Amino acid sequence: MSDYFRNKVHHKEIVATFDDVLILPGFTKTYDVDISTKLGKYKFNIPIISAAMDTVTEDEMAIRMALLGGLGVLHRNCSYDKQLKMCKNVKRARSFVIRDVATIDINASILEAKTLMEQEGISGLVVIDSENKVKGILTKRDIPFTEDRVKSGKLIDYMTKDLISIERESSREEALEILYKNRIEKLPIIENGYLKGLITKKDLKPEFPYASIDKEGRLLCALAISPKLPESSEAKNKLKNIDEYVDIFFTDVAEFYKEKDILGVKELMNFLDSDFVLGNIGTYEGAEHLLTKCDFDSDKFIGIKVGMGSGSICSTSIQTGVGAPTLYATAEVADAIQDYNPKMSLIADGGFKNPGDIPKAFSVGASLIMSGHFFAGCTESPGYIDTIQGRKVKVYRGMGSQNARDIGFVSDRYVEGSKLLPEGVSSYLPFVGGLSSVIQTLKQGLKNGMIYAGATSIENMKNVKIGIVSYAGQREARPHDLLDNISYY
Ligand code: XMP
């Protein structure tokens, strides 16, 4: 049994956390560090995931995270219909070929077309007849400016009828050439008169070279899921439909080391095609159990998510006395992964307060990190910007907080039936602006940490040394002994 990572963190059963340790400086040969990582077959240019929480990740955050090279896990505190819509939006946001093209009947009015575009958040519709044959295209630019015309206009009078289209097997370069030559932005793929897809100029531009994408150039989509196959056939059908747009499901429970959840996930894996990250767990034994005793579909089981009670909005440990701080849990599970399946990815979830906590997670075996705290204050998170005592803020709440539970879809995230015990709190975080500058800061902290530690890749980070810091050392590690509340820039 390996205890390499665990020995780095705990002496006897001290449950160490981020502030308890520091990475020790290592010999640096180069500043050229690679922060890309893998989760199953998926590559990420940044090893950072936004949490599946309803004040953190909906489609806007998931799209931005994936564009920047990470991943956003869509929350599940809403109906299957809303989950489906969010997943579709992620998949549609950027793809070389859009398969699920929005269409409209040739006899529709301009008002109907305008409303549909607004509802779906898209800028064009392919026009089809009663036999589903393509007849033209209508884009936002074709919509008349005056209200009268919008109200009374017929779509057929405003659409472009002479369609320029492209064949199914065409390359990205051929598509770009046709778009440029004809000064158009949308190119339907048509076969025998029927629509087979749509290529758009915006999706061909390599504006986001680090984006996390699937084989067709669409953004990767991840969604939280309850570890239980729904009972009704209606719910099953909806979930099956969602599965078409999802690449990775993340089981979403505070603690996954439970027979019921394990059996539930096995049923889900049989029923759904997408891959799975399972969690959260927090010990070597938990990981050993998942890796050796459960007989999960080995192609679909691609990652384990760890940490319990460390999140900034968590109160599970306070309420129940049970927890596994993220650094401790990561080291524990990393050893089990090393012993039983070194290809399995490990996601360290929650408890990150400062950018410097991120390299610490990699030093004890994480492949990616997940945070809600870093991202809930961003422009892209759900919810409004409020002002409190002159400061701009956004709400951040635990999924076990009373207000999140009142929405009604996450009752099985904690111990089922325990409605009276909130295991999370609701509060505010400072509004921090756009996600890209937050990601930039986190990336820089990680890269500089790797340089100081002498590591050149995430894999390499597993070899760096760490030490336990005394209380006095923790105090010294932060700015200290300065005049309070006075900053000099
Ligand atoms: P941070 O530290 O980023 O943690 O705020 C986010 C992670 O915390 C978990 N989570 C909760 N845990 N009660 C808990 O005990 C809650 O109400 C709660 N809500 C979220 C979750 O794993 C998330 O990624």
Give the per-residue pLDDT at 482.
87
CB of 323 shorter than 6 A to ligand 1: no
pTM, whole model, 2 decimals?
A: 0.83
* Residue with CA at minimum distance from ligand 1 atom 9: 311
Ligand 1 mean position, distance from CA 396 (Å): 10
Tell which atom from ligand 1 comes closest to the C-alpha of 309. 15
CB of 254 shorter than 6 A to ligand 1: yes
Catalytic (active site) residue 413: yes
Domain ranges within the chain, ordered by starting residue: 4-94+210-477, 103-204
Beta strands, E only, 112-157: 124-128, 134-139
Give the closest residue to 380 by CA, choosing from 439, 442, 424.
439
Give the closest residue to 208 by CA, choosing from 86, 90, 70, 372.
70
Ligand 1 mean position, distance from CA 275 (Å): 22
Give the per-residue pLDDT at 343.
96
CATH architecture of 4-94+210-477: Alpha-Beta Barrel (3.20)
Between the CA of residue 451 and those of 354, 448, 460, what are the distances in Å? 18, 5, 11
CATH architecture of 103-204: Roll (3.10)
Q: Are 77 and 54 in contact (CB under 8 A)?
A: yes
Give the per-residue pLDDT at 97.
78
Q: Indicate the helix (H) or strand (E) that contains 103.
A: strand 103-105
Q: Indicate the helix (H) or strand (E) that contains 88.
A: helix 80-93
Ligand 1 mean position, distance from CA 469 (Å): 26
* Residue with CA at minimum distance from ligand 1 atom 7: 350
User: On the CB side of 481, how many CA atoms lie within 13 Å of its CA?
Assistant: 4
Q: What is the DSSP string of 366-430?
A: -SEEEESTTTTTBTTSSS--EEETTEEEEEEE-TTSHHHHHHSS-TTSSSTT-TT---B-EEEEE
Active-site hit among 218, 314, 397, 405? 314
Question: Starting from the edge strand earliest in sequence, which strands make up the sheet with 134-139, in order?
Answer: 103-105, 124-128, 134-139
Using one digit for the tens of pLDDT, what is the confidence trace for 316-352? 898 899 999 999 999 999 999 999 999 999 999 999 9
Low-confidence ranges of the chain (pLDDT < 70): 9-13, 95, 485-489
Tell which atom from ligand 1 comes closest to the C-alpha of 370. 24
CB of 432 shorter than 6 A to ligand 1: no
Q: Are 223 and 76 in contact (CB under 8 A)?
A: yes
Q: Are domains 4-94+210-477 and 103-204 of this chain identical in fold? A: no
Residues facing 23 on adjacent strands? 466
Task: Give me the count of residues in the chain.
Answer: 489
CB of 279 shorter than 6 A to ligand 1: no
Give the closest residue to 21 by CA, choosing from 488, 474, 448.
474
Collect all residues with Cβ–Cβ distance below 8 Å to 259 and sequence separation of at least 6.
Answer: none
Give the per-residue pLDDT at 52.
98
Q: For residue 282, what are its two tokens?
A: 């927090």
Tell which atom from ligand 1 comes closest to the C-alpha of 305. 22
Contacts from 178-183 at CB under 8 Å and sequence distance 24+?
179/204
Distance between CA 279 and CA 224 in Å, rounded?
Answer: 11
Candidate of 18, 48, 53, 54 to mutate for ligand 1, largest count of ligand atoms within 8 Å of Cβ: 53
Ligand 1 mean position, distance from CA 140 (Å): 41
CB of 197 shorter than 6 A to ligand 1: no
